[in-house]
Structure 1
């Protein structure tokens, strides 16, 4: 190989090295620029995620406050009717007691429409498990009211008057149903109480779930 060829080879090698080095530097600079440019984007994304979590937390907190306030009204509305029902259909030792006509009438008035604002007007507005328990309570209350109506009807109406003209057979059936309803009332009250407890449990479970979700979000927000 001649000196000229050797020099040309060296120059070519040096040129390639310089080109590769320049390419490397360009790549490093490009990466650096991308990182620097990406910092605001990453920060913006982080801020967006934080804001989303804060917004979600506020939504859950509102749901929990509304649920607690709403069920507080339910508890207030049910307290006296349930207490009255217990006094009129059970002895102090817990044994079922036959209700009398006057008690049946009073209890019917106490339960009639007592939770319509919640069980009817606000139907299908809450968690599925709560809605299922609301349906059960609504059905139990309706059956109790119907039984109480039967329990006092014969005592407060006549076989024959301006509005009624029952045959002896029909009136005997009404009186028999009235007597049976007075005994049945205690079991109807028990079913209402059971359905109400189930609704209370479902509500408490839902509130606990909301509290846990809020606490989890709080930890993420603090660590952000």
Structure 2
């Protein structure tokens, strides 16, 4: 048929046959395309549903991460905010100027601050976003330094140079007494450093929480558009 239809001089009957042949060929092609489209619809729907389910699952994971993070942040704040507030009050006057801490307050504050946040800074070290971990490490150092300073600020006043357990040489005792006096003055600076370190940690925590919220909101829009 292709040879006949390709000729230049054809009878009317052959011409009609060629037209019918061409139409059948076109029709068969169209039918094949339609069948392919129809056959592909379930696959496309399956892919769309799969992508939607993936987004929903990812959204649930991020939401769980956010809830857990906010719970940790809240517990950490409850653990350290009050001790730091007390520390600031004991080492600064009402106008906010640094002041020397006395012996009893140094001892009491040491008991309040020591190890207060170890459950978060030590036991949960390496479990959060790297920016948060960096700030946690800084706060840990600041709190340990504050604790050591407070200990020095009262030790000489609560211990004797000579007792039944030890006898401290005069030169060494003089250094301990001098360090005690220095620590009473130094305590306000150490409190300020610990407070600043905690503010930095809270900033990193808030930034991470906002990142999670933004990602969740983006997924919510994608899920709504796909449904």
How far residue 214 of structure 1 moved from its aligned partner, in angstroms, is: 1.1
User: Residue 191 of structure 1 aligns with which residue?
Assistant: 193
How far residue 193 of structure 1 moved from its aligned partner, in angstroms, is: 0.3
Contact 1:89 1:186 in 2 (8 A): yes
- Given the two structures, how large is their TM-score scaled by the length of structure 2? 0.90
Contact 1:158 1:164 in 2 (8 A): no
Is 1:86 matched with 2:79? no
User: Residue 166 of structure 2 aligns with which residue?
Assistant: 164
User: Residue 205 of structure 2 aligns with which residue?
Assistant: 203
Structure 1 spans left out of the alignment, 5+ residues? none
Q: 2:143 aligns with which of 141, 144, 159?
A: 141
Deviations 1:120-169 (A, max 9, x none): 11111111111111111011001100111111111111111122211110
User: Residue 36 of structure 1 aligns with which residue?
Assistant: 38
Cα distance in structure 2, aligned partners of 1:140 and 1:6? 98
Cα distance in structure 1, aligned partners of 2:56 and 2:31? 38
User: Residue 3 of structure 2 aligns with which residue?
Assistant: none
Residues 96-135 of structure 1 correspond to what in structure 2 (within 5 A)? Answer: 96-135=98-137
Cα distance in structure 1, aligned partners of 2:188 and 2:10? 112
Q: Which consecutive segments of 4 or more residues in structure 1 shift more than 3 A?
A: 5-23
User: Residue 26 of structure 2 aligns with which residue?
Assistant: 24
Residues 177-188 of structure 1 correspond to what in structure 2 (within 5 A)? Answer: 177-188=179-190
Cα distance in structure 1, aligned partners of 2:8 and 2:109? 115
How far residue 183 of structure 1 moved from its aligned partner, in angstroms, is: 0.6
User: Residue 222 of structure 1 aligns with which residue?
Assistant: 224
Cα distance in structure 1, aligned partners of 2:8 and 2:47? 57
Structure 2 spans left out of the alignment, 5+ residues? 1-6
How far residue 25 of structure 1 moved from its aligned partner, in angstroms, is: 2.3
Cα distance in structure 2, aligned partners of 1:24 and 1:180? 98
Cα distance in structure 1, aligned partners of 2:71 and 2:197? 20
Cα distance in structure 2, aligned partners of 1:95 and 1:7? 112
* Aligned residue pair count: 220
Cα distance in structure 2, aligned partners of 1:156 and 1:90? 23
Is 1:152 matched with 2:132? no
User: Residue 214 of structure 2 aligns with which residue?
Assistant: 212
Contact 1:151 1:177 in 2 (8 A): yes
Aligned-pair RMSD on alpha carbons? 1.9
Cα distance in structure 2, aligned partners of 1:6 and 1:102? 118
- Given the two structures, how large is their TM-score scaled by the length of structure 1? 0.91
How far residue 16 of structure 1 moved from its aligned partner, in angstroms, is: 5.6
